[in-house]
Chain A
Amino acid sequence: MDFDFLINNFVGLTVTGLALGAIYALVALGYTMVYGVLQLINFAHSEVFMYGTFAVAWVFVFFHGKQADTQGLGSALPLLAVSLVAAMLLSAAIALLLERVAYRPVLKRNAPRLMALISAIGASFVLAEVMGLRNRFAGWFGLDDDLDNYVAKARDVYSNPVTIQPEGLFSIGDYAVKDVDVLVLGAALLMMVALDQFVRRTRFGRGIRAVAQDPESAALMGVNSTRVVQVTFLIGGLMAGAAATLYMIKIGATRQNAGFILGVKAFTAAVLGGIGNLRGALLGGLLLGVMENYGSALFGSEWKDVVAFVLLILILLVRPSGLLGESLGKARA
C-alpha cells in the first residue's frame, strides 16, 4: 500500500479522476435514461459510444490526413468542434436505430424483459462486428482502396492521428491542472446540467418522467410513449457521442471492442448513483473515476477495476438502491 504516493499526488489524482469520471457519467446517462423509462439494461449502449469514438478519429483523418501530429488543445479546437458534432450525430443515429430494430419489435410483443436483454446483447455483437469487419464491407463495394485510411486493419487499434498535448492551465499546490482535464470536466458538467434542466423543466421532460412513472397512465393522459422512448434513446446517444469526443481527447485511440469495458464501468456508475437518476449518474461517475485513481495509486493500477467493483458492492450493501437511489419517475418538477 503506497500511501505516500497517494498523498503526494492527491490533487493530480483527483483532477484526472474527475475528468475520467465525467466521461463515465456521460455514458452512464444513456444507461440511466433508458433504464428509467423502460426498466431495461441497454446492453448495446457501449457500442453507441464506440461508434462515436470512431467518428472523432474519422473526422481528424478526413480533415487532417493520416500523418501523425501533436497539437495543443487550442489549435485542435476547430476540428474538435466538428468531430463533436459528427460523433454526437453518429451516436444518436446508432441509438435511434437500436431502439427501432432491437427494442421496439421485442417490446411490442410483450416479451419478457430478459428477452429484450438478449436482443440488446445481439445488437451489441452486431454493431461491434460491423465495425470490426468494415474493411470487408467496403471491399464488397470495391471501396476498400479509396477508404483505406478509414477501414484498413479493422480489428486493430485505430488512433486519432492528432495527439492532443495537454498543457498546464493553472496550478493547485504543486500540481498544474491540465487544460484537457478542465475542458473534459467542464463540457461534461455543462451537458449534464442542460439535460437535467431539460428533464425537469420542459414539457417533453415532463412526458419522459410521466412515462417513467407509469407508462399506462401517461399514455391515457396523451403522452406519446413511443416518441418518449425514442427521445430517450436519442438523448442517450447524443451524450454518448459527447463522451466519445472527450474520451478521444484524453485517450486518443479506440478499437472495435473499446466500448465493452467502458460500458460496464459506466453502467456501474449509473448503479452506484442510483439507476434511473440523472444526478445519481453524475455523482456515481465522478466518484467511480476518483476512487479508481486513488485505488490504483494505493494498490497498483492492475487492481483498478477491482477497486471499482468492490466499491460498488460495498455501497450497494449500505444503500441497496444506489447513493441517490430515486428513480427518474420520482424526480420532482
Chain B
Amino acid sequence: MTAPLTARDRLALQWVGMVERWNSLPRASRLLIVLLLALLFYALPLLRPPILTTQQTDFGGIMFSSAALALVAVGLNIVIGYAGLLDLGYIGFYLVGAYTTGVLTSEHWHWPFFLVLPVAIAVTMLSGVLLGAPTLRVRGDYLAIVTLGFGEIIRLIVTNVEWLGAARGIKDIPHPPTIGPDPKPPFGEGGLFTIPHLSWNGLIPSLDENRGTRFLVFGAADAIPYYWLILTVLILVLVADKLVKNSRVGRAWEATREDEDAAELMGVPTFRFKLLAFAMGAAVGGLSGALFASSQGGYINPLSFPLLLSILFVAAVIVGGAGNRWGAVLGGVLVAYLPERFREFADFRLLVFGLALMILPVYRPQGLLPPARTIRARVAEREIELLEGGEDTGPTDDGLDGPEGPDGFGRTNSTGKVG
C-alpha cells in the first residue's frame, strides 16, 4: 500500500466536513450567523479595520469595486462554472448594461434610475440571447473566441456610433435617488443622519469626528452608499443563484457541462439550457454594468471597457474556483482588492498579479474554493485507487493526481523518443 490519504486530502475532507456540519445546524442559528456576517460586511467600510484598510486610495471606493467585481464574477460563474461555457467577452454584457443606463437616463432620455435598472437587465438579457442563439452551437474554445470577438465588436460600436456618445462617452448619468432631503451644498448635507467612521490608533479604535457617511446620500463625495447598494444587490443575486443552482435548471447545467452528448441522450435539451445560462449570466452582467454607470463618477466611455478587463473577469471566476458561488465572490474581491491594497508596489502590481496567477494553478489546481462536489469526488477517487492496490500510481508527490487523466501530459516516457 502507498501512503494513505495525504495531508492535503485530509484538509480538503475537513473542509467538506465543516461545510456539512454547517448545513446540519438548525435553520435559525444559520440565519443568525449569516445575518451577523452580512452586518459585518455592511459595516466594514465604516469600521476601517487596520491592515485591511487601504491608505492611499479611498477605502469605500475599493470596497465598492471589490463588491462590484464580485457581482460580475457571480454572474460569469453561471456561464463558466455552472454551464461550462468559456465566455471571454463578458465585458460586452457589462457594457450593454452600462450604456443602456447611460442612454436612457442621460444621453437621450431622462428616466429615473430604478426604472432603468430592470430595462437595462432586460436589454442585456436580450443581447445575450441574440449572441447565444447562433454561437452556442459551436463548442468549447470556438465559443471563447466568438465571445471575445463579440466583446470587441460591442466596444467598437460604442466607440464609433455618434448616437451612443462615441469616444467622448456619456456623462452626467444620474445617481440613484437619495433617501431623505437632497444635499444642498455647501451647508445642507442631505440624507437623514450621519454615521461616523472609526479611526484606529494602533489597535485602539475611536470615533472619527471629521469623517462620516450621510444616510443615505448617493453623491460624488462618498462611495460607501454605493457599496451598500451593490452589496445588497450581490446578496439578492446570491440568493437567486442558490435557488437556481439547486433546481432542475442547475442540475441540467451540471449534466451539460460534464458531458453534453450524454446529457442530450438523457433528454436534457442542452442547447436551451446553455442559452438560459448565457442569458442569466448576461442579465447579472448587465445589472452590474448599470450600477457601474450610475456610480460615483456618473461617467462612462469606451475606454472603461477594455478587452483586458474581460480577461480579468474570467481570472476572478477561475481563481476563486469555477462552479462555487463563494469562490466567485472571493475571486472577484481578490482581483479587485489586492492590486489596490498593494499600491505601494505601484508600478509592479500588475507584474505581481501576473505572478500570482501563475503560481496559483500549481498549488490550487481547482481554484481557491472549489465546489464541495469536486473535492469529494477527488478524495473518493483516491480512496478507490488505494483499495485497488495503489502500487501503479507511481510517486504521488502531491496527492492531487487523480486516476490517469485523459491527457497524460507532463509524464515523460523513458523507453524512447522520436526524432
Residues of A near any B CB (own CB < 8 A)? 35, 38-39, 41, 101-102, 104-112, 114-119, 121-126, 129-130, 133, 136, 202-204, 206-207, 215-216, 219, 222-229, 231, 260, 264, 267-268, 271, 275, 302-303, 305-306, 308-310, 312-313, 316-317, 320-322
Bitwise interface map of B from 146 to 158 toward A, beta carbon under 8 Å scored 1, else 0: 1011101100110
When distances are taken between beta carbons in the complex, the residues of chain B under 8 Å from A215 are 407-409
Closest CB pairs A-B (n = 7): A122-B357, A125-B354, A309-B149, A111-B365, A207-B418, A224-B417, A108-B410
Which one, B148, B322, B358, B398, contacts A114 given CB within 8 A?
A: B322
CB distance B156 to A302 under 8 Å? yes
CB distance A219 to B367 under 8 Å? no
Bitwise interface map of B from 235 to 256 toward A, beta carbon under 8 Å scored 1, else 0: 0000000000000000000000
Which one, B137, B360, B401, contacts A118 given CB within 8 A?
A: B360
CB distance B356 to A122 under 8 Å? yes
Does B145 make an interface contact (CB < 8 A)? Answer: yes
Q: Which residue of A lies closest to B312 (CB)?
A: A121
Which one, B134, B318, B348, B358, contacts A102 given CB within 8 A?
A: B358
- By CB atoms of chain B within 10 A, which of A124, A125, A260, A309 has the most? A125
Q: Which residue of B lies closest to A226 (CB)?
A: B412
Does B30 make an interface contact (CB < 8 A)? Answer: no
Which one, B156, B362, B402, B419, contacts A227 given CB within 8 A?
A: B419
When distances are taken between beta carbons in the complex, the residues of chain A under 8 Å from B137 are 317, 320
When distances are taken between beta carbons in the complex, the residues of chain B under 8 Å from A207 are 418-419
Give A125 to B356 CA distance when docked, in angstroms: 10
Give A296 to B411 CA distance when docked, in angstroms: 48
**How far apart are B203's CB and chain A's nearest CB, in angstroms?**
36
CB distance A305 to B156 under 8 Å? yes
Give A318 to B49 CA distance when docked, in angstroms: 57
CB distance B153 to A306 under 8 Å? yes
**How far apart are A65's CB and chain B's nearest CB, in angstroms?**
29
Q: Which residue of A lies closest to B157 (CB)?
A: A306
Q: Which residue of A lies closest to B347 (CB)?
A: A133
Residues of B near any A CB (own CB < 8 A)? 80, 86, 134-135, 137-139, 141-142, 144-146, 148-150, 152-153, 156-157, 159-160, 307-308, 311, 314-315, 318-319, 322, 347-348, 350-351, 353-362, 365-367, 398, 400-402, 404-413, 415-419
When distances are taken between beta carbons in the complex, the residues of chain A under 8 Å from B360 are 118-119, 122
When distances are taken between beta carbons in the complex, the residues of chain B under 8 Å from A129 are 348, 350-351, 354
11 contacts between A and B (CB under 8 A): A105-B362, A106-B361, A106-B365, A109-B362, A110-B365, A114-B318, A117-B86, A118-B315, A119-B360, A124-B354, A136-B347
CB distance A303 to B141 under 8 Å? no
CB distance B357 to A223 under 8 Å? no
When distances are taken between beta carbons in the complex, the residues of chain A under 8 Å from B353 are 122, 125
**How far apart are B357's CB and chain A's nearest CB, in angstroms?**
3
Given contacts A106-B362, A129-B354, contact A225 B411 (CB under 8 A): yes
CB distance B408 to A316 under 8 Å? no
Given contacts A122-B358, A125-B357, A313-B135, contact A222 B418 (CB under 8 A): yes
Q: Is the interface of A mostly helix, strand, loop or mixed?
A: helix
Give A321 to B145 CA distance when docked, in angstroms: 12
When distances are taken between beta carbons in the complex, the residues of chain B under 8 Å from A260 are 307-308
Given contacts A106-B362, A136-B347, A222-B418, contact A321 B315 (CB under 8 A): no
CB distance A224 to B412 under 8 Å? yes
CB distance A271 to B145 under 8 Å? yes
CB distance B417 to A118 under 8 Å? no
When distances are taken between beta carbons in the complex, the residues of chain A under 8 Å from B367 are 115
Which one, B139, B319, B402, contacts A110 given CB within 8 A?
A: B402
CB distance A222 to B138 under 8 Å? no
When distances are taken between beta carbons in the complex, the residues of chain B under 8 Å from A271 are 141-142, 145
Give A130 to B400 CA distance when docked, in angstroms: 32
Give A107 to B417 CA distance when docked, in angstroms: 20
**How far apart are B366's CB and chain A's nearest CB, in angstroms?**
7
CB distance B362 to A223 under 8 Å? no
Which one, A118, A264, A317, contacts B357 given CB within 8 A?
A: A118
CB distance B408 to A219 under 8 Å? yes
Given contacts A112-B365, A264-B307, contact A320 B139 (CB under 8 A): yes
CB distance A203 to B419 under 8 Å? yes
- By CB atoms of chain A within 10 A, which of B308, B361, B401, B407 has the most? B361
When distances are taken between beta carbons in the complex, the residues of chain B under 8 Å from A222 are 413, 415-418
When distances are taken between beta carbons in the complex, the residues of chain A under 8 Å from B318 are 114-115, 117-118
**How far apart are B414's CB and chain A's nearest CB, in angstroms?**
9
Given contacts A229-B409, A267-B145, contact A112 B419 (CB under 8 A): no
Give A216 to B413 CA distance when docked, in angstroms: 10
Give A317 to B307 CA distance when docked, in angstroms: 23
When distances are taken between beta carbons in the complex, the residues of chain A under 8 Å from B144 are 41
Q: Which residue of B lies closest to A309 (CB)?
A: B149
Given contacts A104-B410, A225-B413, A306-B156, contact A268 B361 (CB under 8 A): no
Which one, B86, B146, B361, contacts A119 given CB within 8 A?
A: B361
Give A216 to B63 CA distance when docked, in angstroms: 48
CB distance A321 to B351 under 8 Å? no
CB distance A110 to B401 under 8 Å? yes
When distances are taken between beta carbons in the complex, the residues of chain A under 8 Å from B361 are 105-106, 109, 111, 115-116, 118-119
Give A105 to B409 CA distance when docked, in angstroms: 10
When distances are taken between beta carbons in the complex, the residues of chain A under 8 Å from B419 are 202-204, 207, 227, 231
**How far apart are B222's CB and chain A's nearest CB, in angstroms?**
33
Give A108 to B408 CA distance when docked, in angstroms: 8
When distances are taken between beta carbons in the complex, the residues of chain B under 8 Å from A38 are 407, 409
When distances are taken between beta carbons in the complex, the residues of chain B under 8 Å from A229 are 409
CB distance A126 to B351 under 8 Å? yes
CB distance B152 to A309 under 8 Å? yes
Give A302 to B407 CA distance when docked, in angstroms: 43
Q: Which residue of B lies closest to A118 (CB)?
A: B318
Give A203 to B318 CA distance when docked, in angstroms: 39
CB distance B146 to A312 under 8 Å? yes
Which one, A104, A133, A224, contacts B351 given CB within 8 A?
A: A133
